[in-house]
Amino acid sequence: MSSIPDPVIVIADDHPMVRSAVRSAVQHGHPDAELVDCSNLDEVLAALSAREERVDLVLLDLNMPGSQGLLGLFVLSANHPTVPVAIISAVEDTATIRRALACGVSGYIPKSLPMEAIAAAVDTILQGGVFVPPGGAEAGPPRDEERDLAHRIASLSPQQMRVLAMVAEGKLNKQISFALGVAEQTVKQHVSLIFRKLGVSSRTQAVILLNRLNIRLDPSGAQP
């Protein structure tokens, strides 16, 4: 059983029935846990801010509003770097599991696992371990290039992520400037810093890097 008394766990999924099922699974092993339901990334960010980092774990769905692919993980890491995040998803292919592990998640929990197994996975993470699902080891350790790319993207600020999202959409600096309500020169500075952090020299190269981790940026959700 977890060494953390009365852990605070955020369950982030846009489907109420899924949240209910995950809640039951977590309560099966942690009846005293404080569980916080969130249906999109903005709600997760608000929950973390309201509790001043007193959250022991976020169970994050891969595909919900504001959290397409691994975007939500990077946004959470940029805003709350000390809060552990585990992916809980119906996507179970080994490539996705490997990418998630490369991005520094505390675990990857398939929704298909039985209640007892989900509870055990949560307990492993709360004790400071990393949960890899049965068969997940077949994905092999994260590739160095994937781990390096994940670290580079994670180094971006929330505002830089939003700019990058618009760059990925093909928007011009003038359009980004209007959308963010900042000077075009500020956007140019952001783009320059983004390219430097990602180690690229063009917008096309930046988008190619994002595609390697299957990251689909959403400008409306990349900034709280």
What's the pLDDT at 189?
Answer: 95
Torsions phi, psi for 204 (to 5 deg): -60, -45
Q: Give, in words, the CATH class of 156-212.
A: mainly alpha
Instruction: Please determine whether the domains at 8-139 and 156-212 fall in the same fold group of CATH.
Output: no
Residue 140: pLDDT over 60? no
Q: Are 87 and 94 in contact (CB under 8 A)?
A: no
Calculate mean pLDDT across residues 162-189.
89
Helices 158-168 and 173-180, packing angle to 10 deg: 130
What's the pLDDT at 224?
Answer: 34
Q: Of the given ranges (1-5, 53-57, 118-122, 125-129), which has the lowest mean pLDDT?
A: 1-5
What's the pLDDT at 21?
Answer: 92
Residue 124: pLDDT over 60? yes
What's the pLDDT at 222?
Answer: 43
Architecture of the structural domain at 8-139: 3-Layer(aba) Sandwich (3.40)
Share of the chain above pLDDT 90, in %: 44
What's the pLDDT at 168?
Answer: 77
| Sequence ranges of the domains in the chain | 8-139, 156-212
What's the pLDDT at 221?
Answer: 42
pLDDT in tens, 32-58: 899 999 998 889 989 999 986 689 999
Tokens of 160: 């830089």
CA nearest to 180, candidates 215, 210, 219: 219
pTM for the model stands at 0.75
pLDDT in tens, 100-109: 887 788 999 9
The DSSP call for residue 131 is B
Cα angle vertex 80, ends 168, 167, to 5°? 10
